[in-house]
Structure 1
Amino acid sequence: MTHPFQLAVCAEMIWQDKPIDWRAARLTERGLGVGLWNYPDHDLAKFEAVGANYTIMNGYLEGRLIDEDGAEMLLKSARETAQVGKRLGVDRLNLHGTGLGDGGIPIPTHGAFYPSMMLRARDTLNRICDMAEAEGVTFTLENLNPLDHPGCPFGATADVLELVSSINRPQLRINLDLYHTQIGEGDLVRWCEACLPWIGEVQVADNPGRCEPGTGEINYKGVARALTELGYTGPVGMEAFAKGDSDAAVDAFVEAFSV
């Protein structure tokens, strides 16, 4: 069996008793890419010393898509983060509809949505793309589920697809998080097919629990076969906690995406 995808694991979520640079080195030893969250939490020099393939990192620290003040904050933060991404050689810088606080709660939360918000979001993301083109980096927009992230604008898979496909620029791709899609919409294979032309990365965790494949209800072997049949050979990242042993969790992920 082989794994035709570019496999990576979020270092923030496994081996949590070990230093983060140790985790990055361990994943690199295993031939896997390394996903990160917020760079100010860590010593960048240690990450540089590991020499890992950093596949994805949070692409901003503050800001939001749907209003002018939020857009200005997002652009400033994303521009600063792009410099860090270039320093570490990060493949993709990740965005959400708004900032996320403790426990993933959006800052601020939003209840009602209006067509003007979609227009503002497109304008903001086009400005992000202009900056990304000048800097030579790529951003992704991630879908989020409404239970873990209530009130997040443009969290639904359908909203992310509408935004990224309507902008249709190589500097902006979809970070298709199938854990979130499962909770928000289900029907994973058809969402993979719909998003396929714009996918920058597929992220996975099982549900419930947000642990490695095989611990919940999602048939990730079936998803892997479907992605292969669709011709997808891009990045697949495990953004999941280890239910028990972290090495076993990584093994389970690699096995699930070996076809």
Structure 2
Amino acid sequence: MPQPFQLAVCAEMLWLDKPMEWRAARLTEMGFGVGLWNWPAWDMVKLERVGANYTIMNGYLQGRLADDLGADMLLKSARETVQIGKRLGVDRLNLHGTGLGDGGIPLWQHDVVTGDMWLKARDTLCRICDLAEEQDVVFTLENLNLLDHPGCPFGSTKDVLALVSSVNHPRLRINLDLYHTQIGEGDLIRWCENCLPWIGEIQVADNPGRCQPGTGEINYAAVARALNDSEYGGPVSLEAFAAGDPEAALEAFRAAFTI
């Protein structure tokens, strides 16, 4: 059956008892790209040797979008992380509205985002685009649900779309995480349609449980058909835990996104 999407998998969430280079190698053997989170936790030399297609990794270690100090921290951290990403040939470097601490809790929480914060966030993303042009890389901005990430500024799908479309630069794309969209807004196919011109990657997990497609309420086969009908042919990445055997979970993911 034809496979219209570039399938990848977050290696951090599967085979938790295995070394990261083993996980990257096994995903490569199975025909998947490899996603990473924070690079300091892993041996870069061993990951380089795997020869995997590393599709995405966190593009920063500290910083935030909407204040002067946080923006300067973000740019400095992003510049350092770009060099690590280049060692691995990473396709995209991922950002959030603010850094995340233990359990994904935002380090800088705001229930109300002011107009000045919006303007500063847009300015920071324009600076990120300048860095991306200079270094010939692409950054993505990811949406997060506010139940798991309370007070995260610019976390909603709506806010991420507003910022990225406002900057409207080819070096800045949306990392559309449909697990987070389902919890925060629902209406997944329409959000895919709205975000389509700016999508750099789509991430998926079922809800509840954050496991592979078929374990929860989301009809990912219908989402896949809608994406194919809209002529989206970019990366779709499983960012999920395995309910049961990891390789069975991966095949369920592949089946859901095979048209």
TM range (shorter): over 0.9
Matches within 5 A, 1:23-172: 23-172=23-172
Give per-residue Cα distances to partners, 1:172-225, cap 9 Å, x unaligned.
Answer: 000000000000000000000000000000000000000000000000000000
Provide the C-alpha distance between the structure 2 equivalents of 1:3 and 1:147, rounded to a whole number of angstroms: 34
Once the 2 structures are TM-superposed, how far is the Cα of residue 16 of structure 1 from its aligned partner? 1.0
Provide the C-alpha distance between the structure 1 equivalents of 2:119 and 2:237, rounded to a whole number of angstroms: 31
Provide the C-alpha distance between the structure 2 equivalents of 1:196 and 1:103, rounded to a whole number of angstroms: 30
Q: Report SS of the residue matched to 2:175.
A: strand
Q: Report SS of the residue matched to 2:13.
A: coil
- TM-score if structure 2 supplies the norm length? 0.99
Provide the C-alpha distance between the structure 1 equivalents of 2:230 and 2:165, rounded to a whole number of angstroms: 18
Residue type matched to 1:40 in 2?
P
Provide the C-alpha distance between the structure 2 equivalents of 1:35 and 1:2, rounded to a whole number of angstroms: 23
Provide the C-alpha distance between the structure 1 equivalents of 2:241 and 2:63, rounded to a whole number of angstroms: 27
Question: How many residues of Structure 1 are paired with residues of Structure 2 in the alignment?
Answer: 259
Matches within 5 A, 1:243-254: 243-254=243-254
Provide the C-alpha distance between the structure 2 equivalents of 1:118 and 1:176, rounded to a whole number of angstroms: 20
Residue type matched to 1:198 in 2?
W
Provide the C-alpha distance between the structure 1 equivalents of 2:169 and 2:258, rounded to a whole number of angstroms: 31
Q: Report SS of the residue matched to 1:94.
A: strand
Q: Report SS of the residue matched to 2:93.
A: strand
Q: Report SS of the residue matched to 1:207.
A: coil
* Structure 1 position 205 matched with structure 2 position 223: no
Provide the C-alpha distance between the structure 2 equivalents of 1:206 and 1:235, rounded to a whole number of angstroms: 17
Give per-residue Cα distances to partners, 1:10-33, cap 9 Å, x unaligned.
Answer: 000011111111000000001110
The corresponding residue for 2:256 is 256
Runs of 4+ displaced beyond 3 Å: none
* Structure 1 position 11 matched with structure 2 position 11: yes
Q: Report SS of the residue matched to 1:118.
A: helix
Once the 2 structures are TM-superposed, how far is the Cα of residue 110 of structure 1 from its aligned partner? 1.3
Report sequence identity in percent. 74
Q: Report SS of the residue matched to 1:99.
A: coil
Residue type matched to 1:102 in 2?
D
After superposition, the CA RMSD in angstroms is 0.5
- TM-score if structure 1 supplies the norm length? 0.99
Once the 2 structures are TM-superposed, how far is the Cα of residue 112 of structure 1 from its aligned partner? 1.9
Q: Report SS of the residue matched to 1:107.
A: coil
Provide the C-alpha distance between the structure 2 equivalents of 1:113 and 1:176, rounded to a whole number of angstroms: 21
Once the 2 structures are TM-superposed, how far is the Cα of residue 2 of structure 1 from its aligned partner? 2.0
Provide the C-alpha distance between the structure 2 equivalents of 1:120 and 1:154, rounded to a whole number of angstroms: 12
Provide the C-alpha distance between the structure 2 equivalents of 1:13 and 1:74, rounded to a whole number of angstroms: 25
